[in-house]
Amino acid sequence: MKIAFFSDIHANLPALEAFFKAVDAEHVDAIYCLGDLVGYNIWPNEVVNEIRKRHIPTIMGNHDEALLLPMSKEVKPSNKGLTRALVTDSNRDYLINLPRQLSLNFTTNDKPFNLLMVHGSVKAINDYMVADYPEIDVLAMLKSQQADVLLCGHTHRPFHRVIKNGNDYKHVVNIGSVGKPKDGDPRLCYAILELNQSSSKSNKDAIKVTFKRANYDVEKAAKAVEASEFDKAYAKALRLAK
């Protein structure tokens, strides 16, 4: 089974289009999105429309959650305010009704092997699951959800962490960001996870995780920010991947 996970598009249509082109060439069996479709750029509706058109299972991110708040008048336009003004009622309704978690439950050698998708962490949608997150807290979260693999986004920094837990192993996979990388590499990032009948919690190498990078038109996305009311710093952040 070969599954692609992507997240944090942040209204970056050129990046999303490049992602679809790249992932189509991988011939994956399934695709899941871990949220934050909107924010920081001018194409929230186009991004949401593409996700909806493809019927991609998607969870809510913190920028999607922000649309639960009503539109308010602002002296200086903010990222959230500008996004709220751009998003159509139909797409807002879609985003604010997304699930906050999704799970995939497999059985290998007659034993369960469970994947859990969140945006931030089990604790909160905006929690930063960094590579050195306290091990005791990670294990407690996984235990509470009976999960063997935790897939998350939000930090925009990819990593795969394996934690020994007695005779078993747990995995945390941060899948990075398609539309706003923050690891110094401006190329879009997503993850492909592979598992099979040897994928068990007692096997350290139960899953194969590959982080995929692909080029997209960063300048088009950055110039769109600069030509809008969004903070020009977001354009610099795209170019520098910071």
pLDDT in tens, 156-209: 999 999 999 999 999 999 999 999 999 999 999 999 999 988 788 988 999 999
The pLDDT of residue 223 is 98
pTM above 0.75, yes or no: yes
Residue type, 227: A
Fold topology of 2-240: Purple Acid Phosphatase; chain A, domain 2 (3.60.21)
The pLDDT of residue 1 is 94
Close Cβ partners of 59 (under 8 Å, ≥ 6 residues apart): 33, 34, 35, 98, 99, 100, 101, 102, 117, 118, 119
The pLDDT of residue 146 is 96
Backbone angles phi, psi at 58, to 5 degrees: -140, 145
- Inter-residue contact 45 to 86 (CB < 8 Å): yes
Nearest partner of 219 among 227, 211, 208, 209, judged by Cα: 227
89: enclosing H helix or E strand: helix 89-96
Name residues of the chain where pLDDT drops below 50: none
The pLDDT of residue 197 is 81
Where do the structural domains in the chain lie, given as residue ranges? 2-240
